[in-house]
Chains A and B, each alone.
Chain A
Amino acid sequence: KQEVTQIPAALSVPEGENLVLNCSFTDSAIYNLQWFRQDPGKGLTSLLLIQSSQREQTSGRLNASLDKSSGRSTLYIAASQPGDSATYLCAVSNQGGKLIFGQGTELSVKP
Chain B
Amino acid sequence: DVKVTQSSRYLVKRTGEKVFLECVQDMDHENMFWYRQDPGLGLRLIYFSYDVKMKEKGDIPEGYSVSREKKERFSLILESASTNQTSMYLCASSFDSGTSAYNEQFFGPGTRLTVL
Contacts and interface: CB of A to CB of B under 8 A. Distances in A.
10 contacts: A31-B100, A32-B102, A34-B104, A34-B105, A41-B112, A42-B110, A44-B107, A96-B48, A98-B33, A103-B42
Interface residues of A, number: 27
B109 interface: yes
A91 B104 CA distance: 11
B90 interface: yes
B112 A93 contact: no
Contacts of B108: 43
Interface residues of B, number: 29
B107 A46 contact: yes
Contact of B100 (A97, A102, A103): A97
Interface of A: 31-32, 34, 36, 41-46, 49, 51-53, 89, 91, 93-99, 101-104
B61 interface: no
Nearest to B112: A41
B101 interface: yes
Contact of B104 (A49, A89, A101): A49
4 A-B pairs with least C-beta separation: A31-B100, A97-B103, A44-B107, A43-B109
